[in-house]
Chains A and B, each alone.
Chain A
Amino acid sequence: MELTKLVGLGLNQIFLTVMDNIIDQLCKTDGLITPVDTRPQSFFNSIYQTFQRAEKVAGGPKNRFYSTGGYNIKLRFAGSALIPFITPALEHLSSQPTSSPSLTVCLWDSASTRTIMPPPPWSMDDYITRGEIRSYNEGSIRTSYYPGSGVLNILNINLNVAVYWIRNAYQIPYYESGSPLLPILHWWMCNHGRQLVHAGAVGTAKGGVLLIGKAGSGKSTMALVCLNSELLYVSDDYCLITTNPEPYAYSMYNSGKVNAEDIKRFPFLAQSLSNPSRLETEKALYFLYKHFPDKISTGFPIRAILLPRVTGFPLTRLKRISSSACLLALAPSTIFQLPGAGHKTLESLSEILKQVPCYILEMGNDISKIPYAILSLLSEH
């Protein structure tokens, strides 16, 4: 291991890096130890070194700090190009700088840093579902690449360091800005007692509800309607949950998306829209923290889980459903979006469903009644 490669790493990271290399060497020389595939580790090292070069070209790091799920996260940008595309969704989680973040994510783009990305070491056949790369999710390394967005995410679980790369910051898709770093946060939080879920969340400081269901099921509409009530907004689409010591939802993004035609129902959103000129081809993306900072909560205990359903009837009402019916609505839409999600994620989701009641929220024609139904439910739990 060259000493120059260790410069800039913390003591813990240096120890783990050296251990990784010792294990690599043992695997190569000692027939008694099962050989492991060292390509993922080598690829991570190569990508991290390239990031360091990009950071140098860009004039040094530009750091931002955030806190969620009880952990501090450092975003270390190589230059400024990506900052306006990544940070708005996380602004409400902004925290004081720390010298010992739980997770560090290194972000860069090739265009603004004039730094060429090394070629991918895998073949075209290795791009599989959910952005996963075959053979590059082994040991301590997690890798995803989405040809649609052109975003590479790679995490070294042992080092608590991830790298996020895109060819050109100005080509980042709007939905990536709405929920940036999703795979990295999923992988890392999954190893730290937090589960990322596809769910909205609204409530009060004392407790709230998860809003579940596939895209288009009414989660965003419900969350937006609640902005005009005493309910606080934790998430539109994704949040972190835990069951230890109690069921709890942590906010991840203050963003949301609705279909362009629905934006007329929420005129107060106009000031928060990030893509008003592109609504013919994109969903409306909004960031709420800037204009509604008092309405955003960083988290609350989970008291119930609601599955919204549009009924066309006048009344809004709640109907209790089984935990398994709730799992059917929550688990597939979460698991099929997250690279590497599997049995562990299913177990985490099941655990929370065993601890909180589940309901269908039949949304009546007058959607302004929805917050009252939720507040009434919360008063009972």
Chain B
Amino acid sequence: MNSSMRYLMNKPKVIHEVFEDEVVIINLDSGSYYSVDKVGAEIWRLIEGGATVGKVVELTTQRYESNEVNIENVINQFLEELQREDLIIHNEEIEVVTPKGPEIKVEAQQTAKRPDFEKPILHKYTDMQELLLLDPIHGVDETGWPRTKPDFSDGNG
């Protein structure tokens, strides 16, 4: 993965909210939603702040003990997963823009003992997808409005 590459949140179909060290992400189109915490949440916030892939790797490497894990590879895999889920998109347009340093929240730790790097995990939930299923349409009436078979099954609640 090119280290100068940047990503954008896939707005408006993807919305998210940051809570302490966790991020809740919702894909309005697919009906899937996600949570990611710790290192994953930090990476998400860096990406949101406009950091390049290289900057994300640099800051994460400064902050954590790698414990023989290749942090760059893990971050690249995580970003690919976010892309596969359609949560972030490659941003070609601002690739040459200067990074927004102040928006990057992760600070390099200069202390001797740094926390161990934990592989970021994207938790995915699909139990709400049925709410997005379209009602079956069985043709239209003489005025053009869809006719459906009477549905007395449930509703959402």
**Could you list which residues of chain A lie within 8 angstroms of chain B, going by C-beta atoms?**
116-120, 124, 127-130, 145-150, 167, 171, 173-176, 178-179, 198, 214-215, 236-238, 257, 278, 281-283, 322-324, 327-328, 331-333, 335-337, 342-343, 346-347, 350, 353
C-alpha gap A173/B157 in the complex (Å): 13
**CB-CB < 8 A to B37: which residues of A?**
324
Question: Which of B136, B148, B151, B155 makes the CB contact (< 8 A) with A178?
Answer: B155
Q: Which residue of A lies closest to B123 (CB)?
A: A328
Q: Once the chains bind, are A127 and B156 in contact (CB under 8 Å)?
A: no
- Is B24 a contact of A327 with CB atoms below 8 Å? yes
Q: Which of B50-58, B68-76, B105-113, B138-146 contacts its partner?
A: B138-146
Across the interface, B132 reaches (CB within 8 A) one of A118, A336, A347, A350, namely: A336
Residue of B33, B125, B148 touching A150 (CB-CB under 8 A): B148
- The answer to whether A347 touches B141, judged by C-beta atoms less than 8 angstroms apart, is no
CB distance from B21 to the nearest CB of A (A): 9
Interface footprint category on B: 35 or more
- Name the residue on A nearest B153 (C-beta): A281
Q: A127-B137, A130-B131, A328-B35 are in contact. List 16 more A-B contacts (CB 8 A).
A: A119-B143, A145-B146, A173-B150, A173-B155, A175-B157, A179-B155, A198-B156, A237-B157, A282-B153, A324-B20, A331-B24, A333-B131, A335-B15, A336-B132, A337-B131, A346-B17
Tell me the chain B residues, 6-40 only, with Cβ under 8 Å from chain A.
12, 15-17, 19-20, 22-24, 26, 28-29, 31, 33, 35, 37
Take A117-B145, A173-B151, A323-B20 as given contacts and tell me if A328 and B157 are in contact as well, using a CB distance cutoff of 8 Å: no
With A129-B132, A322-B19, A323-B20 already in contact, the answer to whether A328 and B125 are too (CB < 8 A) is: yes
Q: Is the interface of B mostly helix, strand, loop or mixed?
A: loop
Sample 8 A-B pairs with CB under 8 A, ordered by A number. Answer: A124-B146, A145-B145, A150-B145, A173-B152, A179-B155, A237-B157, A324-B23, A342-B15
Q: How far is the CB of A121 from chain B (nearest CB, A)?
A: 9
Are B146 and A198 in contact, CB atoms less than 8 angstroms apart? no
Closest to B151 in A: A148
- What's the minimum C-beta distance from B30 to chain A, rounded to whole angstroms? 10
**How far, in angstroms, from A173 to B134 measured CA to CA in the complex?**
17
